[in-house]
């Protein structure tokens, strides 16, 4: 039995993306679907495009709709012409460089957090969840010391996996760390910033006490704490093992204001990193995600210049470059969250099973940033790209790795050498 147009649109009434749309877009999609008899898949296309336009602050779906010169078309030909025209305008907006000067960032309320204390025997150590031979990966080990984050970055990749507002802490973290089976003859690079921000919780539940006990006990571990916060009170008063590296994800003021909600400002992050470095602790920086928008060149040069004017290369273990990469569940979640964000207003191509900028654009973004660093930084600091095609390495850095294992070994060797040198000097 053929479904009537009203029945098709009724199937979407409970769809979270359709429900998140403004009333004008919902009415427009319903009316046009009834008039033209759009298929289930065509209605889904219209809903996604409307959600994107609202998110980008680029108007309603009606603003890209064009029924001109379609009087002689009927049925499938008419539907295809209308959808194709809307898609063409949507694609045009995606490929037009973003202008944040015309964008009004949303003021998201702070999340209501509920702390859940766990005492189970769940596994807390794993491998990078997006590791792949299709892109060059450092094979980072990830430690879920805390699960879920209190920040509201619009592009966050962990959003589909955790319940909003519930922060999961381990009451038995130290005993879980003691039970980890780590080969004593290998170097292990472990990061805690995959499932939550590494610093924003401070020493809640003895978090840092347990992590630094673990680092002190395991000298063959490189423990990396990655953050967008300036919560460094613990570091001012407590000893930190030499094999702990604290790294900050940095971005331009435009991106932080519009897309990284509730995080510390650029200058707050850099000031916090400076204070940590003053304690003799190695620091690092992730320029990630680098986003193309109107004025991005000057914006990222200012970020690099701030780093160069604040730190000496011997204080910095690493600088990574990366950009926006999405899996489809994250894109769907962004649409239903009713965010005001221009993050998805970008050309997307397949990148090792995920979606990201075209390679040519990535090369331009990364080269622009990397070329700003002087030669002594390139010699002293380990520069790398996070989860990028190996072809970009030669184009940007002038070097390549034959495998993920080769990349991993070089990174660990550099970090360990710098840790030993820094420990000796302090």
- Vertex 287, ends 338 and 219: CA angle to 5°? 115
Contact status, residue 176 vs residue 170, Cβ threshold 8 Å: yes
| Residue-by-residue pLDDT tens, the chain, 426 positions | 455 666 677 787 788 889 889 999 999 999 999 999 999 899 999 999 999 999 999 999 999 999 999 989 999 999 999 999 999 999 999 999 999 999 998 877 777 889 999 988 888 999 887 666 778 889 999 999 999 998 989 888 776 566 678 899 999 999 999 999 999 999 999 999 889 999 999 999 999 999 999 999 999 999 999 999 999 999 999 999 999 999 999 999 999 999 999 999 999 999 999 999 999 999 999 999 999 999 999 999 999 999 999 999 999 999 999 999 888 888 888 888 888 999 999 999 988 788 999 999 999 999 999 999 999 999 999 999 988 988 999 999 999 999 999 999 999 999 999 999 887 666
Rounded to an integer, what distance in angstroms lies between the CA atom of residue 298 and that of residue 305? 10
SS3 content of the chain, % helix, strand, coil (to 5): 45, 15, 40
DSSP track, 17-46: HHHHS-HHHHHHHHHHHHHHT--HHHHHHH
Taking the CB of residue 121, how many other CB atoms lie within 10 A of it? 10
Q: H or E stretch including 189?
A: strand 188-191
Q: H or E stretch including 170?
A: strand 166-170
Nearest alpha carbon to residue 138 among 200, 195, 191 = 191
Region of 206 (left: φ > 0; alpha: ψ -120 to 50; beta: rest) is left
Domains located in the chain, CATH noted: 5-96 (no CATH), 114-425 (3.80.30.30)
User: Any idea which residue has 């992050």 for tokens?
Assistant: 269
Q: Give per-residue burial for 211-250: e unless 16+ CB within 10 Å, then b.
A: bbbbbbebeebbbbbbbbbbbbeebeeeebbbbbbbbbbb
Rounded to the nearest angstrom, the gap between the alpha carbon of residue 115 and the centroid of all alpha carbons in its chain is: 23
Instruction: Give the model's pLDDT for residue 422.
Output: 87
Instruction: Give the model's pLDDT for residue 350.
Output: 86
Nearest alpha carbon to residue 228 among 255, 249, 201 = 249
Rounded to the nearest angstrom, the gap between the alpha carbon of residue 130 and the centroid of all alpha carbons in its chain is: 12
Rounded to the nearest angstrom, the gap between the alpha carbon of residue 149 and the centroid of all alpha carbons in its chain is: 13
* CB-facing half-sphere around the CA of 293: CA atoms within 13 A: 27
Q: H or E stretch including 76?
A: helix 75-94
Instruction: Give the model's pLDDT for residue 338.
Output: 80
Handedness of CA 340, 342, 343, 349 (dihedral sign): positive
Residues with Cβ within 8 Å of 123's Cβ and at least 6 positions away in sequence, in order, are none
Rounded to an integer, what distance in angstroms lies between the CA atom of residue 238 and that of residue 280? 12
Which whole-number Å values give the CA distances from 313 to 86, 213, 227, 377, in the listed order? 50, 28, 20, 5
Q: Phi and psi (nearest 5°) for 362?
A: -60, -45
Residues with Cβ within 8 Å of 234's Cβ and at least 6 positions away in sequence, in order, are 202, 203, 208
Instruction: Give the model's pLDDT for residue 1.
Output: 43
């Amino acid at each position: 039995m053929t479904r009537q147009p009203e029945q098709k649109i009724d199937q979407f009434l409970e769809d979270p993306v359709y429900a998140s749309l403004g009333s004008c877009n919902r009415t427009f999609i319903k009316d046009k679907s009834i008039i033209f008899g759009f298929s289930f898949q065509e209605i889904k296309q219209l809903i996604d495009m409307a959600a994107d336009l609202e998110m980008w602050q680029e108007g309603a779906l009606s603003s890209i709709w064009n029924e001109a010169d379609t009087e002689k078309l009927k049925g499938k030909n008419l539907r295809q012409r209308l959808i194709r025209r809307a898609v063409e305008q949507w694609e045009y907006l995606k490929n037009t460089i973003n202008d944040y000067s015309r964008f009004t960032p949303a003021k998201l309320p702070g999340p209501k957090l509920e702390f859940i204390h766990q005492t189970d025997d769940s596994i807390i150590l794993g491998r990078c969840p997006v590791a792949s031979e299709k892109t060059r990966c450092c094979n980072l080990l990830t430690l879920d010391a805390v699960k879920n984050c209190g920040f509201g970055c619009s592009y966050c990749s962990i959003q589909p996996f955790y319940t909003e507002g519930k922060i999961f802490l381990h009451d038995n973290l130290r005993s879980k760390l003691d039970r980890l089976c780590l080969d004593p003859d290998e170097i292990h690079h472990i990061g805690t910033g995959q499932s939550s921000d590494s610093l924003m919780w401070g020493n809640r539940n003895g978090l840092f006490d347990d992590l630094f006990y673990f680092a002190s006990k395991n000298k063959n571990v490189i423990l990396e704490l990655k953050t967008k916060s300036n919560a460094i009170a613990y570091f001012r008063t407590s000893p930190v093992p030499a094999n702990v590296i604290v790294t900050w994800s940095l971005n331009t003021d435009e991106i932080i204001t519009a897309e990284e909600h509730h995080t510390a400002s650029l200058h707050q992050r850099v000031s916090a990193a400076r204070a940590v470095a003053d304690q003799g602790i190695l620091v690092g920086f992730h320029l990630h995600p680098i986003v193309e928008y109107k004025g991005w060149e000057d914006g990222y040069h200012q970020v690099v210049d701030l780093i160069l004017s604040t730190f000496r290369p011997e204080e910095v273990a690493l600088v990574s470059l990366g950009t926006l990469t999405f899996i489809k569940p994250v894109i769907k979640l962004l649409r239903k969250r009713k965010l005001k964000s221009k993050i998805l207003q970008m050309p997307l191509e397949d990148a090792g099973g995920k979606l990201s900028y075209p390679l040519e654009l990535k090369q331009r973004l990364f080269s622009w940033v990397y070329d700003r660093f002087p030669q002594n930084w390139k010699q002293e600091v380990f520069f790398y790209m996070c989860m990028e095609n190996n072809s970009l390495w030669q184009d940007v850095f002038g070097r390549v790795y034959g495998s993920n294992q080769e990349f991993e070994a070089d990174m660990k060797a550099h970090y360990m050498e710098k840790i030993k040198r820094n420990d000796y000097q302090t």
